[in-house]
Amino acid sequence: MSTYVRRLKEALPAVRERVHEAALRSGRSPEEIRIVAVTKGHPQEAVDAAIDAGLGDLGENRLGELGEKAARVEARAVRWHMIGHLQRRMAPAVRSLASLVHSIDSLRLAERLESTAAPDEPRLLMLAQVNVSGESSKSGFAPGELFEALERIMQFDTLSVEGLMTMAPLTSEREDLRRTFRGLRALREEAIERVPGYRGRELSMGMSNDFELAVEEGSTIVRLGSVLFGEQPA
């Protein structure tokens, strides 16, 4: 039995229980929350262990690593999520690899994906990344520019905005984390009211250190790496 199989046998039930309890605390159904197992930096055996454990949604930060891992599990049912920064020059390749792109962080990136799509290209499911915390180190739309950007992206023929994503500050201050998550939830509700035709319900927020708070504040997708797989190998 590999190290990853052993670790998931211990970690996954506990993580699912924590998600379950957090959902109940917020008056939500646990079925509303999807776990994306983030395998970035881990070897292929982590991917195989995750699939064997019933984790069908896997996430990667780098497009190259996603492509390599996806090619090795081609015959298995996996939904790949691109959760990291996407360089514009490499962006078109994501269409053939990812079921959902969490990190559309600018209109220029969205325009690049639209302009390079092949004729009759199926719609790429995507989330608009929002820099709710306002940190200069983070990518994403500023809250004040989000609604206009959504209106523009929704005019594209080959992109489908499924919701929003954010990254919380690296802090242990629970109220700071909650403020970020609440901010994204509020932006979703405001977008549904203000942007004609917008119905994006997904909220991708919450990682290994803060996912319970994110679920309590409305997350529908949590992106979990270390809490499932341990720290990345050196």
List the CATH number of the domain containing 91: 3.20.20.10
Residue 172 banded pLDDT, cuts 50, 70, 90: confident
pLDDT of residue 77: 83
The count of structural domains within the chain is: 1
Q: What is the pLDDT of residues 25-65, one digit of tens each?
A: 999 999 999 999 999 999 999 999 999 999 999 999 999 99
> Taking the model in full, what pTM does it have?
0.96
Domain presence at residue 124: yes
pLDDT of residue 74: 77
Share of the chain above pLDDT 70, in %: 99
Residue 3 banded pLDDT, cuts 50, 70, 90: very high
Domain presence at residue 79: yes
Tokens for 23, please give them: 């959902």
Average pLDDT for residues 172-201, to the nearest whole number?
96
Give the integer Cα–Cα distance in Å for 180 and 162.
Answer: 20
Domain presence at residue 184: yes
Domain presence at residue 234: no
Domain presence at residue 233: no
Q: What is the pLDDT of residues 85-102, one digit of tens each?
A: 999 999 999 999 999 999
Domain presence at residue 187: yes
Domain presence at residue 147: yes
Q: By residue range, what is the domain housing residue 184?
A: 3-228
Give the integer Cα–Cα distance in Å for 184 and 205.
Answer: 9
Domain presence at residue 146: yes
Q: Is the pLDDT of residue 1 over 70?
A: no
